[in-house]
Amino acid sequence: MSYSKNPIVKRVKSKFEAIQHIAEVFVSGQSAQRGLLVSGDAGTGKSHYIKLAFIATGTTKKVDYQKSKTFTPPALYAKLWENRMPGDVVVFDDCSLESMTGEAFRKFTSWIKGGLELSKGPKMLGYEAASKNALFEELGVPSEFDFQGSIIWITNTRFERLAKKFGDHWDAVKGRFIPVEVFLTKEEKYMYTNYLIEEVDMLGEKCEAKEGGYSDEIIANTLDYLNENYDNFKEITPRVAIKVADTMEMYPLVWKNILNQHDIYDNE
């Protein structure tokens, strides 16, 4: 079976390829739009396709990629300052920026609106505090600067929830970004994962989770297990497939018991 010709797989591929294409144009620095907001399911490939865009454009080294980090307002302000120049790109991938509260979230909202405004000229961001900040002093961060860099924000949070969080500011915030939303059905995730395993060698030599990937036997057993137990899984994503393959290889005697401890089945 050729998964690449399957209409479901083709539909999913087109969604992710669109993300890559947008990111490739985005990091060129030629667009007046300097914000990219990607929202989608966890473990399906959002980050992967963004990184492919960096590879395709030779911009990997100039991108400041922040993964799974929590930022205080001073730390976020300093990070924006470090990436303030035209052509600079900072990526916030699963950094839970939307989880900020109170004054911290108000500052974040203000910086997004001010820094990514669609207009020529300076985009001034500022931070006023009653006392000196050690991080600012260490890095030489001023109380005000012109932000001409670009922001890529990757999140699992749906736009509906972001809209509730930002309230009256949501339209203004969303308007500062190129918004891309990719959420897949259970069947789409399953078919796409099979395509990645069978035709892209996701668990073999091209495996990004383990050097050298897994053996042909483990890959075949993983496919059989996923296919035979499709109805029992909450979802089958590339991340779940890697978890199954790795558990099979590392714990051959008890792999089923270990997988039962993970929150991956509908009946748990």
What pLDDT digit, counting tens, does each position of 28-51 carry?
877 889 999 999 998 888 999 999
pLDDT band, very low/low/confident/very high, at 268 (cuts 50, 70, 90)? very low
Residues facing residue 40 across a β-bridge: 182
- pLDDT score for 1: 62
Q: Give the model confidence (pLDDT) of 185-242 as tens digits.
A: 999 999 999 999 999 999 999 999 999 999 999 999 999 999 999 998 999 999 999 9
pLDDT confidence tier of residue 10, bands split at 50, 70 and 90: very high
Q: What is the pLDDT of residue 267?
A: 46
* E strand map for 113-216: 124-126, 144-146, 150-155, 178-182
The share of the chain scoring above pLDDT 90, in percent, equals 79
197, 1 contact by CB (below 8 A): no
pLDDT digits (tens, 9 = 90+) for 68-117: 999 999 999 999 999 999 889 999 999 989 999 999 999 999 999 999 99
Stretch 15-37: mean pLDDT, rounded? 89
pLDDT over 80 at 2, yes or no: no
Exposed, middle or buried, 179 (CB in 10 Å: 0-12/13-18/19+)? middle
Q: Is the pLDDT of residue 250 over 90?
A: yes
pLDDT, tens digit, 9 for 90 and up, residues 112-169: 999 999 999 999 999 988 788 999 999 999 999 999 999 999 999 999 999 999 999 9
Angle between helix 238-250 and helix 186-199 axes, rounded to 10 deg: 60
Alpha-carbon gap, residue 174 to 178, rounded angstroms: 8
Band of residue 266 on the pLDDT scale cut at 50, 70, 90: low
